[in-house]
Structures are given as C-alpha cells and as structure tokens.
Amino acid sequence: MDLDSLVHYAKEFLRLNSANPPGCEEESVLFLESFLKKEGIESEIFSPAPKRANLYARIEGKRSDMPLVLLSHLDTVPAKPEEWDVDPFGGEIKDGFLYGRGAIDMKVQALCQLFAFLEIRKERFIPEKDIIFLATCDEETGGKLGVKFMLEKKEILSEADFVLSEGGFIIEDGGQIHAQISVTEKKVSQFFIKAKGKGGHGSTPHKDNPNEKVIEAAQRIISYKWPIKLYPVAIKYIDGVMKGKRIENFEYIDLKSALKKKSFLSFVDDSPHINALLRNTVTCTILKGGEKINVIPVEAEAYFDARILPQERQNKFYSKIRRIAGKKVEVIPIGESSERAYYSNYRTRYFEAIANGIRELFGPIPVLPYMTTGATDLRYFRSLGIPAYGFFPIVLTKDEIMRMHGVNERISIENIKRGYEGMKNILRALLSFK
C-alpha cells in the first residue's frame, strides 16, 4: 500500500469516535472488516453488547495450532474537544502530523497491523503458522468485553505461540534513539477516598466539612514518597538507556551504584518516566465535592490512579494507603486489582526477531525489554504463560508520548510509514519460525 492511501485510511479511521466510555467500537470494526472483505478474507465479528464489537480474522499457515496473534484495541479514552487545538475526531493533518484520539493509542497501530497482515497474504507465501488478526473493544476499561470475552469465544487464542500488541515504541531522547519492547507492566490499584460530614451554610464553617477531610487526606497521600524498589526488567531497561550518560557530577555506570548518589535521586524525582519504573505511583485524577459556592456538601470524594510495581502486594499497598489517609476518610478500591504480576520472558527468538527487524530499519540501536507503566490487554495472554510483547515501530519523543491519554494526541506522517513498514518487517521475521 502506498503512503498516501495509508494516511487517507488512517484519517478516516480516526474520524470514527470510539471513545470508551461508552465504547461504540462497532463502526471501527466494520471499517477494518471492509478491507478484509475486499481481499476476500473471511472474518468474524463478535458483539458482546449493543454497539460493542470485536473483529477476528485468520490467515492459514502450514500448521493450525499455536498461532501468532496480532492484537489491537479499537476503543480510545475520551477526549474533550474544547481542550484540544483541533477536533479530536476530525482526522486533521497539520504540519506533518495526523491529529486525533487513538493516533498512538492505538488505532493507527491497529491499521498498520491489519495492512501488514493483508500484505503478507498478497505475497502468497504460506507462513509456518496461522496468523490471527484480533481487534477488540473495551481495553480502556479493563477488557472484559474485549480480550477476555474473545478468549472464551475462540479457544485457539489461549493456545497462541506469541502475541504482539501495544506498550513499547522507539524513543528519541537527547538526540539518541532506543527501542522498548514491553514484556511486563505495572499493576493497577485504582481507588477513591470518601468523606461524609454535616452540610451547612458556607458562611458558618464548622469542623465536619467533608471537603476539608478529603483535601487533608489527599494531601497526605500525594505527598508520600514511595520507596524505590528494583524490578529486573526496569533495571535492564534503565541501564540500557542511561549507560554512559552524565548526570551532573558523575557518569552513569549501573543503576545500583547510581542510586547511591544524591544527584541521581533528584534526577529520578524530576524524570516522571524513570520515576514510574522505580516506585509505586499514586496520582489524584478526579475531585468531587459540592456544587454551590455557599453550601457545605455532605459528601466529598477524591479519585486516585495508582500503579504499583509488579513485586508489590495489593493488600500491603492498601493498608499503607489507609494508614496515610487517616480515619476521617474511607478508602475504597475500584475494580479488580490483580495480585499476580504477569511477565513474558525476553530471552526468546521472538524478542530477537523483533530486535533484528528494528535494527534493519534503524541501525544498531539498543533494543531493550521494557515495563509498561500503564496496563494493557497483554496481561490476559501473559497470565496464560504466552509470550506477549508490546511494540509499535514508530519514533516518539517524551512530549509525543505525554499526548497519549492527554490533549492533541497525534502521529507524524513519517511515523505512519515507519509503523507500516516496520510491522511488515517484524511480521515476516516472526512468520519464518516453525
């Protein structure tokens, strides 16, 4: 496929609003299905709820067990148009970038996976194994209607030999690039705190104001400094990125010795990304309390998105949070918090194949195993012991990554090309395995 058509389809795709909640991935599924139909590839649509849908297609290889799975999710987080410089669902191109919710998380990746999948079919070689293209709904709210649902509908998925999805990119930092292939992720521990109190008139303050209880507890929670704890993948990654770099007065050799230096500790504090790889993080994201300026409410809440290191225990985390929060608020966990950490070994031929595919396009750059600080659907496959990696071969700066789930999410036209070419390379390498 030529770049112009690819960009055109990417534009069209980002115009289909699949923000979750509420989801509405059906239109996006039908859009992708139309390309499969054109190529005469059979596919199946599985709809777990009205307007929600999952797309499943398969190319037959020489053997039908242990397929390779290209996994993507078609839902996105919501976007508020008034906060953006362009319409998040307008598919606008400006200064060499395609803007839109889902540009990097992960609708364009889904499209590149699909087109790479179709291209392989056109090349008419029979792969050693079946390849399954699976584009799901519901990832952004936990994946129950998406991957979890599909694992029940299609048993073959749980026999996969390898799964490739999201979670890692090629990162440009200070003029150097390195690739991160995600093999594990932090655990989600989201919760809210709630206080009750006596309402009243704003002109006569009293000591039983729920807003004040929540503010005080929230202040303690956000100012607590979680200790640094080392996880092997994080060590390997940070060492790979930092080796030889100068930080103030010293040269980085390895993490363990760097952590003994004060200047490195303040570097960690000022580097949100490295910081999140080394400790639990707790971010206050929603505040609720009161609706009228002269009324003391009877209830207030603050919501926290916490991500804990793979080796941390959920119950220990929550007892710590309860101690910090104090007795005036209730701490209420949200959703299922998984106790187990899921990890895919990175010393595999799959890792090597992807690394070789990257180096063919980018030269001898470091290719490092990585721990995604957010959560992805890959955990469902990792929990079954299936090697499952997250990687999309596009080059992003830290600023570009911050736009994921943020405002003005975008992907450069050059990256759309890299994503597609890179995906074809990687797929060809993976498909040569018996």
Residue 106 near Zn ion by CB under 5 A: yes
- ∠ CA(243), CA(245), CA(246), 5° rounding? 140
SS3 content of the chain, % helix, strand, coil (to 5): 35, 25, 35
> Of 137-166, which residues contact Zn ion (CB under 5 A)?
166
Q: Give the binding range for Zn ion (CB under 5 A) out of 98-106, 124-132, 277-285, 324-332.
A: 98-106
Comparison of 105 and 138: residue with beta carbon closer to Zn ion = 105
CB 410 within 8 A of CB 97: yes
Separation between Cα atoms, residue 152 and residue 423, nearest integer Å: 28
Comparison of 320 and 405: residue with beta carbon closer to Zn ion = 405
Return the residue matching tokens 């200790």. 227
Q: Give the binding range for Zn ion (CB under 5 A) out of 102-110, 184-192, 240-248, 300-308.
A: 102-110
Comparison of 344 and 372: residue with beta carbon closer to Zn ion = 372
Q: Which residues pair with 302 in a beta bridge?
A: 193, 287
- Binding pattern for the stretch 305-324 against Zn ion, x by CB under 5 A and - elsewhere: --------------------
Residue 75 near Zn ion by CB under 5 A: no
| Shortest CB 63 distance to Zn ion, Å | 31
| Shortest CB 112 distance to Zn ion, Å | 14
| Shortest CB 122 distance to Zn ion, Å | 28
CB 129 within 8 A of CB 62: yes
Comparison of 166 and 312: residue with beta carbon closer to Zn ion = 166
| Shortest CB 284 distance to Zn ion, Å | 22
Which amino acid, residue 195?
A
Structure tokens, 355: 């690394």
Return the residue matching tokens 């206080």. 195
> Of 237-296, which residues contact Zn ion (CB under 5 A)?
none
Which amino acid, residue 372?
T
195-207: b or e for each residue (b if 16 or more CB lie within 10 Å)? Answer: bebeebeeeeeee
Comparison of 139 and 212: residue with beta carbon closer to Zn ion = 139
- Please tell me the number of Cα atoms within 13 Å of 159 on its side-chain side: 12
Peptide bond into 21 cis (omega under 30): yes
Peptide bond into 232 cis (omega under 30): no
Separation between Cα atoms, residue 127 and residue 124, nearest integer Å: 9
| Shortest CB 105 distance to Zn ion, Å | 4
Q: Where are the alpha helices (DSSP H) in 224-331?
A: 232-242, 255-258, 262-269, 272-278, 314-325
Q: Which of 105, 130, 185, 212 binds Zn ion (CB under 5 A)?
A: 105
Q: Give the binding range for Zn ion (CB under 5 A) out of 101-109, 304-312, 362-370, 389-397.
A: 101-109
Comparison of 390 and 422: residue with beta carbon closer to Zn ion = 390
| Shortest CB 342 distance to Zn ion, Å | 16
| Shortest CB 165 distance to Zn ion, Å | 8
Comparison of 73 and 121: residue with beta carbon closer to Zn ion = 73
Comparison of 13 and 264: residue with beta carbon closer to Zn ion = 13
Comparison of 105 and 212: residue with beta carbon closer to Zn ion = 105
**Count of CB atoms within 10 A of residue 134's CB?**
27
Residues that bind Zn ion (rule: CB under 5 A) add up to a total of: 3
What 3-state class would DSSP assign to 81? helix
| Shortest CB 129 distance to Zn ion, Å | 25
- ∠ CA(394), CA(168), CA(308), 5° rounding? 150
- Binding pattern for the stretch 162-201 against Zn ion, x by CB under 5 A and - elsewhere: ----x-----------------------------------
| Shortest CB 388 distance to Zn ion, Å | 14
CA dihedral 151, 152, 155, 161 (to 10 degrees): 20
Comparison of 138 and 312: residue with beta carbon closer to Zn ion = 138
Separation between Cα atoms, residue 166 and residue 275, nearest integer Å: 21
| Shortest CB 280 distance to Zn ion, Å | 21
Residues that bind Zn ion (CB under 5 A): 105-106, 166
